[in-house]
Amino acid sequence: MTKVRYAGVDGMSFMFYNHCSQQYHHSFIAVDPSLGPLVLSVCLEEEENKLRVILRMKECSLHGTFSLSLFTNMPSAVELAKRLCDKVTVPKFDVVSYLKAPVLITAFDEHRVSSNFKFGVLYQKEGQFTEEDILSNNEESEKFRDFLSILGDTIQLQGFTGFRGGLDVCHGQTGNEAVFTSFNGREIIFHVATKLPYTEADPQQLQRKRHIGNDIVALVYQEGQTPFLCDVIKSHFLHCFVVVRRVQREQEAGGVAYQVSVTAREDVPPFGPVIPDPPLFTDSLQLREFLLAKLINAEISCYKAEQFNRLELRTRSSLLESLHNELFTRSRCMMGDPSVAVAPPSESTRGPSEGSGGFIENFKRAIRVRSHSFETLGVPRKNAGNSSQKPKVDKDAESDSSGTTELKDQASPQEEI
């Protein structure tokens, strides 16, 4: 039986590592006239009498399993590639003989995987409608501090060794405190606006905006009934806000609940968990679990938005070309080709996979460039009267909505929680 599936980048992240890198497999490379660099991996799963095939292209990766009963003889790399993608036109593939190829291929497959997240936290008081008002808040109410304690622990940044999300842990240039937590194996740090440096003479509070505006998802904690307008914070990055308001329940004296709503740009795909009806939480632990899962899934989903997706495709294309070239060069050296020489990596640039060479450095460089390239996306600034970020009902897909619904047998940290 033939099984061919399209898989989003997230769902493919661990396919090679889990199914191929630790088993008998071969990888092949080629440059297609129309598709560009191709990296093919083929794993023989003898117990199930099938071949598992992964084809990496500039725009996506394709995965398929093929029963050996389909073939009279063992199929060629070209035949398998064409079964996954009929647009493949190369007459042959070159075999990858470099012994550390699995390390390089795994690094490419997992370039979208992150175990760390950073989120902004805005504090909105009654009557505050503008970005300047919200970012100028310095005093934290006891209720706001109670809410922060639900999210995580307040830590001292000086000497902090966990994930810092761009905050300074040496010289105090980004304040003295932050909120940090761990959740399902992930480290999360919150850029709390009131804990970031305040500049008296700067009504825009650019020191705070520098961090909050560069987050992709932000929490908004509200005190009072003033609505949060989604176009208040001008940012190329921010695509989703999770809004939380503390409310007093009349039916139970002293009873406190937190009301939750979500607003996101229109091109952000649905994500869970589902907001309950009514959208109220009375248990702090349940609120914490819900908010952390919602925030992580929101960021994963935001990467599917048009602007982020364009940047991801450019990053992926660059990394794939670098991977192909590295595998080709090192395989030729492995076979003793005198016309090809590879300079060993210097001690200063050698990473965890020592001796893995240029692709790892290009990989790191591409990720750094991606992290600072959103200003080049051409995203128009939103005008207050014509927001490109409209409130919408919280959406939840019937199945996983992070782009990996077809990989039911593959659990990835980048899939929804």
| pLDDT recorded at residue 187 | 95
List the helix and strand counts (H, then E) for the chain: 10, 14
pLDDT-above-70 percentage for the chain: 75
Confidence of residue 24 (pLDDT cuts 50, 70, 90): confident
| Total Cβ atoms within 10 A of residue 183 | 18
Contact status, residue 272 vs residue 397, Cβ threshold 8 Å: yes
**Chain segment 95-146, per-residue pLDDT in tens:** 999 999 998 988 888 877 677 999 999 999 999 999 999 999 999 999 999 9
Of 108 and 221, more confident:
221
Domain extents in the chain:
3-110, 116-303
Q: What's at 281, amino acid-wise?
A: F
What's the predicted TM-score (pTM) here?
Answer: 0.68
Of 332 and 417, more confident:
332
Q: Is the pLDDT of residue 281 over 50?
A: yes
Of 345 and 194, more confident:
194
| pLDDT recorded at residue 398 | 32
| pLDDT recorded at residue 392 | 45
Confidence of residue 366 (pLDDT cuts 50, 70, 90): low
Positions of E strands within 125-172:
153-156
Q: Is the pLDDT of residue 385 over 80?
A: no
DSSP-derived letter for residue 91 is: S
Q: Is the pLDDT of residue 178 over 80?
A: yes
Q: Is the pLDDT of residue 380 over 80?
A: no
For residues 280 and 258, what is the distance between their CA atoms, to the nearest angstrom? Answer: 5
CB pairs under 8 A, 24+ apart, for 271-276?
Answer: 271/297, 271/298, 271/300, 271/301, 271/395, 271/396, 271/397, 271/401, 271/402, 271/416, 272/297, 272/396, 272/397, 272/401, 272/416, 273/297, 273/396, 273/417, 274/394, 274/396, 275/394
CATH class of 116-303: alpha beta
Q: What is the 3-state secondary structure (H, E, C) of 345-367?
A: CCCCCCCCCCCCCHHHHHHHHHH
**Chain segment 252-275, per-residue pLDDT in tens:** 555 789 999 999 999 999 999 999
Range of weakest confidence among 5-14, 119-128, 339-348: 5-14
Contact status, residue 238 vs residue 231, Cβ threshold 8 Å: no
| pLDDT recorded at residue 389 | 43
Give me 101's structure tokens.
């190829």
pLDDT-above-90 percentage for the chain: 57
**Chain segment 389-404, per-residue pLDDT in tens:** 444 444 343 333 233 2
| pLDDT recorded at residue 162 | 94
Of 183 and 8, more confident:
183
**Chain segment 72-90, per-residue pLDDT in tens:** 999 999 999 999 999 999 9
Rg (alpha carbons) of the chain, rounded to whole number = 24
State the CATH architecture for 3-110: 2-Layer Sandwich (3.30)
CB under 8 Å to 162, separation ≥6 — which residues? 155, 180, 187, 189
Q: How far is CA 303 from the centre of its chain?
A: 6
Confidence of residue 205 (pLDDT cuts 50, 70, 90): very high
Q: Which of 395, 370, 392, 387 is nearest to 233 (CA)?
A: 387
| pLDDT recorded at residue 362 | 54
Of 192 and 248, more confident:
192
| pLDDT recorded at residue 141 | 96
| pLDDT recorded at residue 7 | 33
Q: Is the pLDDT of residue 374 over 60?
A: no
Q: Is the pLDDT of residue 301 over 60?
A: yes
| pLDDT recorded at residue 14 | 61
Lookup result for tokens 């909105």: 124
| pLDDT recorded at residue 293 | 94
> What is the mean pLDDT of the segment spanning 5-11?
39
Q: What's at 259, amino acid-wise?
A: Q
| pLDDT recorded at residue 62 | 93
User: What mean pLDDT value characterizes the chain?
Assistant: 80
Give me 336's structure tokens.
């003793």
